[in-house]
Amino acid sequence: MVRQPSINAQHRTPLSTERIIEAALRIVDGQGLARLTMRRLGDALEVEAMAIYHHLPRGKEQLLDALVTHVASSPAQADGAASAGWREPLRRWAAGYRERLLAHAGVLPLLVTRRNSAALTTTVRSLQEVLRRGGVGEEAAAAAAHTVLGYVIGHAALEVRGTPEDGADRPVDWDSRFTAGLDLVLAGVG
């Protein structure tokens, strides 16, 4: 058999930053953060690991930063129909954000590392937007945003680790516990 090494290389769709990040996220979600290596990522993309560096010159650092941005940087929640007050929009925002964190739980440790503070700044700002549009003052909105985001991230961390029972050895219903805790926080806001 004659080797035809160029056939695959020519016909496959070319690499792109988006495809790289999607593949990386698939590995993290399916196999865990520890199994995300440049070589395995290359395999998944049917490419040599070194090809990735052409799109992400800063290598794995840049890849991990991009994963954090992809998962943790919340969109500005263009809620369309202006709902009355901030309470309901904030509940929706928190529920959506929690869902994303849990869907990509492997990325959570990265969010807590020093990397990519821009991602969370965006998120804080979008949270403040929701509050201010609901009539909460500038100062109070800034404080409440940190409180709520802190709670959501922290609770997601507890959930992921999944202690199967509470202190009294009853199974924990995380969904209702999350909303209960959130309402508790929101009650404090105003």
Do residues 189 and 151 make contact, with C-beta atoms less than 8 angstroms apart?
Answer: no
Indicate the residue among 37 and 83 with the shorter CB distance to DNA.
Answer: 37
Phi, psi at residue 114, to the nearest 5°? Answer: -65, -10
Separation between Cα atoms, residue 162 and residue 92, nearest integer Å: 23
Give the range of 2-10, 78-86, 118-126, 160-168 binding DNA by CB under 7 A. Answer: 2-10
Binding mask 59-98 for DNA (x = CB under 7 A): xxx-------------------------------------
Separation between Cα atoms, residue 67 and residue 91, nearest integer Å: 25
Interface residue with DNA, options 17, 26, 31, 48 (CB under 7 A) = 48
Ramachandran sector of residue 77 (left: φ over 0; alpha: ψ -120 to 50; beta: rest): left
Separation between Cα atoms, residue 108 and residue 119, nearest integer Å: 13
For tokens 């954000």, the residue is: 97
Interface residue with DNA, options 21, 24, 38, 72 (CB under 7 A) = 38
Interface residue with DNA, options 29, 33, 53, 122 (CB under 7 A) = 53
In the complex, the smallest distance separating the C-beta of residue 33 from DNA, rounded to whole angstroms, is: 10
Interface residue with DNA, options 44, 49, 120, 124 (CB under 7 A) = 49
